[in-house]
A and B are shown apart, each in its own frame.
Chain A
């Protein structure tokens, strides 16, 4: 009996240590990033274009480029993703077409980001002739984000009790009236949470935009969707591998800003979700 107990203590104890060992160093490294990057975050760094082959100046065009790409991604992925989820949850029965849609979504979710990059380049940059541009990058990132948005929106719609749908239909509402006036408003916070999480992921992607939208250096801010842009993730890649003589703290500064943008999006999503939970408890 003693032996059994000892074995149990040792087993679970080892797992606790493992969890600690896996999580703490990673958090420490991120802490180090914040510590190293913090001094670089000056007003000039955030609002000026880079100078002298990216070794001096700021990252303003990269920040703007990433924000522009993010807005574009939302415009591509949100209508398609939410529309698909509405179809799957509210309209689709069981037939071959719907099965195919599900298989396609599962497989799209597994396609590596660099393959999306290849596709974006072949399709949007070359075949459709958009060139290396904001539009091509946003379309590529939008498609990459689509599966995440579909699956979270689908979950959100499934979580709406059927009671609401029945009540609305029994009052003589049509299906679409029911979806638009009852189901969507109830599901909206959860849909937004998922969408923001998905878009946050897209904002940090590098491989899909490096052949479709991003350039190492341009002092110009984009003024049309056909312009090429700087983007933070690609900028970070470039200054930490390809561009010589970039000071350590500028690279850490760029990494910290990227992390902050992505983190801020996640934070917004979490806040929406928490408020939703509290509301439900009340």
Chain B
């Protein structure tokens, strides 16, 4: 585990139509680690996640103050193209959202829009991505069947494979297991462990056991503020702030 900050926010404020959804959040994301964001619903953790690849830009009426750094460059600078940024910072959503296309076309979608056309090259990317997402063995015989025929857990790993295929540096996951059964969830958590060596991962989760199992660092959000940030073990054994303790011991939320 190295200590370099892959991403970092500085004094980040986010307003949505006059409502302040994030208040002065300064938050580090260390390279090749898993960082978990926890907190009750509506606390701003998902909104925060979406500022990291500028997916909030898609929603009208959001305004941002402060800095979000990726490798020490502010991603909200005027010269930064969100389209290029999102290639570097991929995202996995709450519900599995494969496109209504074949498994192969789902994975090849990203490389294709970024200009790869060579068939052999695409084949290789598809296989590598599916292997990295621990899905290859289950789908290699039906690559050209619809992705909608897969189970929920398989779909979520497919979506991860689709993100891996554009070769990102950071992967954001927004409650990726919330729609999955326990077995699929366990497989997904294993996968997150494996991916850590090559990627930096930020995961929003409702489930504190999950945060404890998969993450190295944890940030606790409440009402748009980042209340506490520390090494996951410390957070769950000896929280410094009263509100964090209340939350992780189940007194609210």
Contacts and interface: CB of A to CB of B under 8 A. Distances in A.
Interface of A: 93-94, 161, 163-174, 177, 181-182, 185-186
A200 B192 CA distance: 54
B97 A171 contact: no
14 contacts: A164-B97, A164-B99, A166-B97, A167-B159, A168-B99, A169-B55, A170-B90, A170-B91, A171-B163, A172-B84, A172-B87, A173-B109, A174-B83, A174-B113
A177 B113 contact: yes
Contact of B113 (A93, A165, A167, A181): A181
Contacts of A177: 113
Give the residue among A161, A170, A174 with the most B Cβ atoms within 10 A: A170
B75 to A, nearest CB: 13
Nearest to B85: A172
A185 B86 CA distance: 23
B132 to A, nearest CB: 16
Given A171-B109, A174-B113, 16 more contacts: A163-B93, A163-B95, A164-B99, A166-B55, A167-B159, A167-B162, A168-B99, A168-B113, A170-B53, A170-B55, A171-B90, A172-B87, A172-B114, A181-B112, A182-B99, A182-B109
Contact of A163 (B60, B97, B109): B97
B87 A167 contact: no
A171 B58 contact: no
B110 interface: yes
A116 to B, nearest CB: 36
A173 B113 contact: yes
Contact of A171 (B60, B87, B95, B100): B87
B166 interface: yes
B166 A166 contact: no
A169 B95 CA distance: 16
Contacts of A93: 60
A172 B98 CA distance: 15
Contact of B162 (A94, A171, A182, A185): A171
A174 B58 CA distance: 11
A171 B110 contact: yes
Contacts of B53: 170
Contacts of B95: 163
A181 B90 contact: no
A168 B249 CA distance: 38
A172 B166 contact: yes
A181 B87 contact: no
Nearest to B95: A163
A282 to B, nearest CB: 9
Contacts of A161: 97
B58 A172 contact: no
A172 B113 contact: yes
A167 B100 contact: no
A173 to B, nearest CB: 5
Interface string B165-193: 01000000000000000000000000000
A235 to B, nearest CB: 45
A263 B84 CA distance: 50
B99 A173 contact: no
A59 B113 CA distance: 52
A157 B163 CA distance: 25
A9 B202 CA distance: 63
Given A163-B97, A164-B97, A166-B93, A172 B60 contact: no
A173 B87 CA distance: 8
Given A167-B159, A169-B55, A171-B86, A181 B97 contact: no
Interface in B107-136: 109-110, 112-114
A181 B55 contact: no
A171 B129 CA distance: 14
A171 B93 contact: no
A165 B91 CA distance: 13
Interface in B75-94: 83-87, 90-91, 93
Contacts of B101: 185
Contact of A181 (B98, B109, B159): B109
Contacts of A181: 109, 112-113
Contacts of A173: 83, 109-110, 113
A41 to B, nearest CB: 43
